[in-house]
Structure 1
Amino acid sequence: MKRIILTILLAVTTLSFLACGRQGKLAGTIKIDGSSTVYPITQAVAEEFNKQNPNVNITVGISGTGGGFKKFVNGEIDINDASRSIKTEELAKAKANGIDFIELEVAYDGIVVVVNKDNNWAYDITTQELKKIWDKDSKVVYWSDVRPEWPKEKIKLYGPGTDSGTFDYFTSEINGEEKRIRADYTASEDDNVLVQGVAGDKYAMGFFGHSYYEENKDVLKVLKINGVEPTTENIRNGKYKPLSRPLYIYVNKKSLERPEIKSFVKFYLEKAKDLVEDVGYVPLEDKKYQEQLNKIK
């Protein structure tokens, strides 16, 4: 009888351990959307996280910072990738819908101005000249309208769409007002489309996040802004003015209560330094990452 009881107890204990093991495995779905600039970082983190947690389904969209916030403040996604901080009107909608969140910095980025690789006349440009080209009331049609020694060839312009945080930041810093821009440029929320546009036209110019230039420097040429090159060091120390900025993820606090979300966000911040650099961005200082980790504790 004792032997039978012992056997039953051992069997129950084994089943309990197995059950605990199954419960310990993360599963669930994480919905992420937002900035195409932050996308490469988040996608890299998601891929590494999935290697350890294959039962967690992670979707990462690129509807732009503004497009992501529209979903985030309605509670449709768990995390929004953002290349700018949340706006007042977005914050008001979040509060109205009962969405509480945490803002976390994940990297630094520089917005680059690029031209075609075969462009052999432009190597640097001033912020005043950028405003002259991109402003809503711009009269610039030809390269020679910017500098007379540049060719009298039409500039074909490429840039992010209006839902992009990069668009908001660039127009604010260069044109002096958010969303103020000429209407006759080719817009896309997908930075790869912009890369292809500039790479395919000798007389093109575009702007987007630094990492997309790093990935495509064989077909693009980057311009210095006010004499400063957008190197990693110049972006980190703020010398690359005014187009250096922090990048964020916004996390729904209610979502953060789910173990798969909390584990993912912790993993993100713990691995960000290496992964951010791998995909061409500038990592935060160690102290700053620790500050972000403290927020989710």
Structure 2
Amino acid sequence: MNVRKITTLAAAVGTLFVSVSAMANQPLVKIDGSSTVFPITEAVAEEFQKAKKGSVRVTVGISGTGGGFKKFCRGETDISNASRPILDKEMADCKAAGIKYIELPVAFDALTLVMNPKNAFLKQVTVAELKTMWEPAAQGKVLKWNQINAAWPDTGLKLFGPGADSGTFDYFTEAVVGKAKSSRGDFTASEDDNVLVQGVSRDAGALGYFGFAYYLENKDKLKAVPVVNPKTGKAVEPSLEAVISGDYQPLSRPIFIYVNAASVDKPEVKEFVEFYLKNGAALTKEVKYVPLTDADYKHALDNFSKKKTGTAFGGHSEVGVKVSDLLKRDPKE
């Protein structure tokens, strides 16, 4: 090998070493958790890194709300994305590990029921009908559409939904069946919403559910099913307006980030969360979610600045809760 090639190779190796070394020393914000919250947090992360001109790196993983809390309560992440509140066991795990957390609502999501575009008979669905489909007693028994409603055809019912590690699964079962994680087990489950999209789009008798943003991304392959509001008796399609007005119930819910209180001492984490709450409304709209009110973001920022640790929930989800009320509660640890 000639001298020029050796010199060039040495320079390349030196540059690579410097780059790896610089990345190792670069401040890092580690985030994991809900696939539902991921699009918002990813959008915030991109804008934050641009604003910091590459001086801070933010990583955002997708292991589901439950999987994210497992990592968070082991101290492996700074922030956990969650599409439902922290649960009793997770609270106990964090407490045992000495991890305190700040609970921050960041947006609303509308759980969206989707059907195959070839389905011409399903005009709306009630919560009672959904319970008949999804409750544990339906497993192996409710296999056709006419078993739910006699007006529906004698054709096969194929169900798709998030897996048990998903906060979306927890909230849906709480809202529809009446108890979190209470569900038939004979449905196609996946933490990857794209798998659910593909499943429903390929089966004329299919029905599934996931976050509103994923439905909007796949409107050409799916149809949303209007859900009858139990209080008004009116069938409502999921939309930004229906969530803001409170008409889309009971499948509208707040979504969260949880911040390790010890991580707030790191400037990059503190700055990232402040950036999130100050820019959350615009970026939430950009990725087709429903933002909180300006007053709610301001209140959340105030709670964060005061390091208000704990959860406004009692270790379980609540259906139909207002964010403004949550932020006023004294959190529990």
Q: What is the match of residue 277 of structure 1? A: 285
Query: Which amino acid in structure 2 is aligned with residue 158 of structure 1?
Result: F
Q: What is the match of residue 276 of structure 2? A: 268
Tell me the distance in 1 between the aligned counterparts of 2:154 and 2:61.
40
Q: Please state how far the C-alpha of 1:296 moved relative to its aligned partner.
A: 2.3
Task: Find 1:243's aligned residue among 251, 257, 275.
Answer: 251
Counting only pairs closer than 5 Å after superposition, residues 130-209 of structure 1 correspond to structure 2 as 130-138=130-138, 139-209=141-211
Cα distance per residue 1:174-229 (max 9 Å; x no partner):
11111111111010111111111111212111011111111111111011111122
Tell me the distance in 2 between the aligned counterparts of 1:251 and 1:229.
33
Cα distance per residue 1:52-106 (max 9 Å; x no partner):
2213222111111111111111111110001111112211211111101111110
Query: How does the TM-score come out when normalised to structure 1?
Result: 0.89
Q: Please state how far the C-alpha of 1:269 moved relative to its aligned partner.
A: 0.8
Tell me the distance in 1 between the aligned counterparts of 2:160 and 2:180.
17
Question: Gaps spanning 5+ residues in structure 2: where?
Answer: 1-24, 229-234, 306-333
Q: What is the match of residue 95 of structure 1? A: 95
Query: Which amino acid in structure 1 is aligned with residue 198 of structure 2?
Result: Q
| Greater fraction of residues in strand | 1
Q: What is the match of residue 105 of structure 1? A: 105
Larger radius of gyration: 1
Q: Please state how far the C-alpha of 1:281 moved relative to its aligned partner.
A: 0.7
Counting only pairs closer than 5 Å after superposition, residues 21-32 of structure 1 correspond to structure 2 as 27-32=26-31
Tell me the distance in 1 between the aligned counterparts of 2:101 and 2:150.
51
How many aligned positions are there?
A: 272
Tell me the distance in 2 between the aligned counterparts of 1:29 and 1:270.
20
- SS across alignment from 2:186: coil
Q: What is the match of residue 73 of structure 1? A: 73
Identity of aligned residues (%): 53
Q: What is the match of residue 6 of structure 1? A: none
Query: How does the TM-score come out when normalised to structure 2?
Result: 0.79
Tell me the distance in 2 between the aligned counterparts of 1:120 and 1:55.
53
Cα distance per residue 1:148-180 (max 9 Å; x no partner):
332222111110000100100111111111111
Give every structure 1 segment of 4 or more consecutive aligned residues whose post-TM-superposition deviation is greater than 4 Å: none
- SS across alignment from 1:211: helix
Query: Which amino acid in structure 2 is aligned with residue 207 of structure 1?
Result: Y
Q: What is the match of residue 329 of structure 2? A: none
Q: What is the match of residue 23 of structure 1? A: none
Tell me if the contact between 1:123 and 1:222 (Cα under 8 Å) persists in the aligned partners: no
Q: Please state how far the C-alpha of 1:256 moved relative to its aligned partner.
A: 1.1
Q: Please state how far the C-alpha of 1:238 moved relative to its aligned partner.
A: 2.0
Question: Gaps spanning 5+ residues in structure 1: where?
Answer: 1-25
Query: Which amino acid in structure 2 is aligned with residue 68 of structure 1?
Result: G
- SS across alignment from 1:261: helix
Query: Which amino acid in structure 1 is aligned with residue 150 of structure 2?
Result: P
Please give the root-mean-square deviation of Cα atoms over the aligned residues, in Å: 1.3
Tell me the distance in 1 between the aligned counterparts of 2:284 and 2:119.
30
Q: What is the match of residue 125 of structure 1? A: 125
Query: Which amino acid in structure 1 is aligned with residue 157 of structure 2?
Result: I
